[in-house]
Structure 1
């Protein structure tokens, strides 16, 4: 009896290593589930390069269902369901025979599932390519993450006609952003912007692969291929390929991890990361499209590379968005978002205080332009004339002067960019009146009025009213601020509270288009 028990225990111990190996071969059986906790063990690919599971997001208690590079410190995410939100602790994902992957909240309510599951599911498989496949009993695929991408392509992945990548909102916000990469019906691979709120109708294309031939469809593209050697190509129907990146321009995939991501700033970049490393080397961008997104987005629809009323400049291949003087971010946590004016000149109420020239001054900023948002043209008009026509118009947010012509701008200002080739001046009229008079009769925007929905009021340094003018050689911003006091935007009129005063500017509400 003792001998039989010993043999049984030995047999179990002998099998344990093989059980462990079977759990790491990438196969995930029907009925297997994962929970959204820090201790949850993800489903690994055979090599361990990729993991599928829940990744805890920074600075909150939310988790994202995702696939990531597992052997690098950053645990870079390369896939997530692009139409879902991060989930609460205790949520689960499971492999279901009828629905494939099913994401449930802690109460068991379904949040997301894989679509178009037409056959019974046998198992899931996490490939070493980074592709998670839901398979039949013969291992043929029913659904795969490569055919349902989020914002990233990986080597061996293909995008077909009408396939797309969608940017996230920010580096840490995985909600749907406004930049898209699309392979169109005509064979062109394009980058364009889209209204997030409408989720329909595209704005202007700001990059095109030029792989469409309306006269001969065989010359048009029909696939975007990220091949196993790291080259991204558009495959034409006649078999020819247009290379976006060549194998000679990038490190080998045998020694480096690769990915191509439509980043939250709208730039499509191909990155590489060493597989063997010390420390934390990070990802290096090998190529990116377009070359300068700040000046690539044109047209009258949408805000441009940055948010409304913002200015874009390129730095090391990345767009940097900044609010002009006198404007602040609507969302302080979104540096690429919209800016709102802290103040606006009043219409008519300043007439008794003096002329516009007495109340405002002008300041210059070079090589800046908002090429759209025109509402009036004056010609002929000198540079001084252009300043004055904007200075004396309370609806003028900016003006451009060039070749004896003047264009006045309206809010919101769009497609703002720093561009040394434009040779233009921008001017903002800025108040010169005393602080006491400014507090008494100036008007401004509160964050509440601008957003049109929140009751939250912020404290801002008080800026006197101002305008902008743009000329053909440099941009001028004209502003001044009250250096030693802060206006509390709270009361419709001045109220005494001991030695302090509070002022609430009164202006029509202003809501940004989205």
Structure 2
């Protein structure tokens, strides 16, 4: 079934008939008037988020008090005040920040755009001059379906992170190509891909493909069905539980707790009745998600109890919530109270009186000690960082229990410690640090601590106690660029270009804007993290100076990782910031192609094993489309694709003097500077795979 939206001829931008002309823009402010559907039921524009000064580009139900959001670009972040969205002839919808830089645009726009239309079904449609729709929000859903909306094979909904956090959550609704509609979960923190399928419509028929499902339909009457290729339908909803659409608004949302719910709301009401859940899938998510490979419905070490279809998360007896999103810190005070009570029951009145006094005094000391341990700000002389004891960090990480990852300098653990507005932290235990004097170590750490840039992971504190050297960072909850690029879900072209730009700007800051120039020496996708809005944040910067020369990654004095090491490391020449430029160039090619720099030959993947060589061959032969096969958005941005490839080739020149500075690389990526045709990057030697 396919719905064709016929648009009225576009005249002036009108809020009465739902049409929006090319060139019309909306600012992200509280006073901007959204683009309304003809009935006024739906609005398109910016909604201000709670508790901050950010706005979300979205579509919402406009006539109810809650202004419930039913669509937003799922691969973008909330934007700051003064950002704009407009209809552009070449790109359709374009979202820009206050400085005019493009943050997001509608994909797959190949025809000249004539305007947009906010439909009374809640579908925003972009059309060309013959009124044919060429993009629509219904075909690019976020976490919600509306009546008349269809999800095709390989279509999906993605939950948000929380009720008020619209970044990508860990639950997915997928219409698989085998005909099944499934709910599954992806453990982002563990970078494992999909962990558990916890609901299945059972509409696949391998014996007879014509009996398999191929569409999820939210009918105009309000029922959700899986349509089979033979015309039969499997109804998911029980029609008697659904009130009529003429009197009620409807939506079906994959909520942040992983439950797919169908809701209704009366169109005529007094007060604020809110949404009512008619049905939900699965019936019991606490039982459906066992969490043997993931973290279950409620997370690690927690108890899930169902209440009206909603998972209620509780700690085991004797434990309390250390953090609403991580219940994992034991509450020792309860155990101590039980012990004291037991002693009191068997003692005389006088002894009881003495014990009560001692216990109260002891609890005061314990409580004050905890406050001192977890909340004190101990700034060492001359440093801008908090100085922690080893015991404090061991306590914060629950004995270094939850490992986040391993790198060139040691192991990183997740921890919880109140530090102003930051609670969750990442603690890196440095296991290869030269045993310099305490003053020299702290001087180097202080250099890192003085860096402040949106594309760097922020260092919060350190521990320098005997043999223990630890660094405390802010926690990045969306993992590494490596897991993002090479995982199951391929990031779209716009996301990849924004990540590349963020890395470039972070390196330019380290090289040219810090009081002390910092060479990273190990730029690779594993050392680039993603924050809650998927902004690129460079980690491990400045640690190269702390690495012992005779304990670096290889048997030579080379610092870095196979596939990313600049040629000058192999020669007796001075190492400069250009080694980072080379590594960035390789990483840029990985971001463009979503392919690793060196294919592991042991597993039989021998074709084009060296990414840099393959990219140069494709570029020289005019076959850039081979680099982004099936990537429609990248193929439609041929000029941008060519510009990014040429910048990458310039950055990996064997002659370091030919490589641009990171500042110049940023300007070329942004299109500010012209990118000239690059020469062969390795005219003298072939790529060395021996390291």
Same fold (TM over 0.5): yes
Match of 1:446 in 2: 395
State whether structure 2 residue 57 is matched by structure 1 residue 65.
yes
Match of 2:120 in 1: 128
State whether structure 2 residue 35 is matched by structure 1 residue 47.
no
Q: Matched residues in 1 for 2:74 and 2:322: separation?
A: 25
**Structure 1 position 329, deviation (Å):** 4.0
Show the 5 A alignment for 1:424-439.
Answer: none
2:322·2:329 contact (CA, 8 Å) conserved in 1? no
1:255·1:275 contact (CA, 8 Å) conserved in 2? yes
State whether structure 2 residue 294 is matched by structure 1 residue 314.
no
State whether structure 2 residue 327 is matched by structure 1 residue 339.
yes
C-alpha change, 1:37 and 1:219, in structure 2 (3 Å) is same
C-alpha change, 1:312 and 1:299, in structure 2 (3 Å) is closer
C-alpha change, 1:207 and 1:454, in structure 2 (3 Å) is closer
**Structure 1 position 458, deviation (Å):** 6.8
Show the 5 A alignment for 1:46-125.
Answer: 46-125=38-117
Q: Matched residues in 2 for 1:119 and 1:491: separation?
A: 55
2:188·2:478 contact (CA, 8 Å) conserved in 1? no
**Structure 1 position 274, deviation (Å):** 0.4
Deviations 1:389-431 (A, max 9, x none): xxxxxxxxxxxxxxxxxxxxxxxxxxxxxxxxxxxxxxxxxxx
Deviations 1:202-259 (A, max 9, x none): 1111111010111111111000000100010000111000001143321000000000
C-alpha change, 1:148 and 1:200, in structure 2 (3 Å) is farther
2:302·2:315 contact (CA, 8 Å) conserved in 1? yes
From 121, 137, 152, the equivalent of 2:129 is 137
Q: Matched residues in 2 for 1:140 and 1:246: separation?
A: 35
State whether structure 2 residue 148 is matched by structure 1 residue 156.
yes
**Structure 1 position 317, deviation (Å):** 1.6
1:99·1:117 contact (CA, 8 Å) conserved in 2? yes
Q: Matched residues in 2 for 1:313 and 1:60: separation?
A: 32
**Structure 1 position 197, deviation (Å):** 4.5
State whether structure 2 residue 169 is matched by structure 1 residue 201.
no
Q: Matched residues in 2 for 1:29 and 1:92: separation?
A: 15
Secondary structure of 1:112 counterpart: strand
Bigger proportion of residues as strand = 1
**Structure 1 position 309, deviation (Å):** 1.5
Deviations 1:477-501 (A, max 9, x none): xxxxxxxxxxxxx999xxxxxxxxx
1:36·1:54 contact (CA, 8 Å) conserved in 2? yes
C-alpha change, 1:88 and 1:312, in structure 2 (3 Å) is same
2:44·2:118 contact (CA, 8 Å) conserved in 1? yes
From 284, 288, 293, the equivalent of 1:292 is 284
Q: Matched residues in 1 for 2:278 and 2:73: separation?
A: 27
TM-score (norm 2): 0.49
**Structure 1 position 310, deviation (Å):** 1.6
Match of 1:235 in 2: 227
C-alpha change, 1:136 and 1:199, in structure 2 (3 Å) is farther
Deviations 1:351-397 (A, max 9, x none): xxxxxxx9x98xxxxxxxxxxxxxxxxxxxxxxxxxxxxxxxxxxxx
2:153·2:177 contact (CA, 8 Å) conserved in 1? yes
Secondary structure of 2:45 counterpart: strand
Q: Matched residues in 2 for 1:164 and 1:257: separation?
A: 22
**Structure 1 position 22, deviation (Å):** 4.0
1:446·1:457 contact (CA, 8 Å) conserved in 2? no
State whether structure 2 residue 159 is matched by structure 1 residue 210.
no
More contact order relative to length (CA 8 Å, sep ≥ 6): 1
**Structure 1 position 321, deviation (Å):** 1.0
**Structure 1 position 456, deviation (Å):** 4.4
Q: Which runs of 5+ in 1 are unaligned?
A: 1-18, 345-357, 362-431, 460-489, 493-505
Q: Matched residues in 1 for 2:18 and 2:462: separation?
A: 63
Q: What is the count of residue pairs matched by the alignment?
A: 368
CA RMSD of aligned residues (A): 3.8
1:104·1:110 contact (CA, 8 Å) conserved in 2? yes
1:222·1:235 contact (CA, 8 Å) conserved in 2? yes
From 275, 295, 298, the equivalent of 2:267 is 275
**Structure 1 position 287, deviation (Å):** 0.3
C-alpha change, 1:199 and 1:454, in structure 2 (3 Å) is closer
**Structure 1 position 308, deviation (Å):** 1.3
Match of 1:173 in 2: 165
C-alpha change, 1:25 and 1:491, in structure 2 (3 Å) is closer
1:84·1:111 contact (CA, 8 Å) conserved in 2? yes
1:326·1:341 contact (CA, 8 Å) conserved in 2? no
C-alpha change, 1:198 and 1:45, in structure 2 (3 Å) is farther
TM-score (norm 1): 0.65
Secondary structure of 1:215 counterpart: coil
Q: Matched residues in 2 for 1:273 and 1:130: separation?
A: 15
**Structure 1 position 300, deviation (Å):** 2.1
**Structure 1 position 199, deviation (Å):** 6.7
Bigger proportion of residues as helix = 2
Deviations 1:150-178 (A, max 9, x none): 00000000000010000001111101000
Secondary structure of 1:339 counterpart: coil
C-alpha change, 1:245 and 1:455, in structure 2 (3 Å) is closer
Secondary structure of 1:47 counterpart: coil
2:224·2:235 contact (CA, 8 Å) conserved in 1? yes
Q: Matched residues in 2 for 1:177 and 1:87: separation?
A: 18
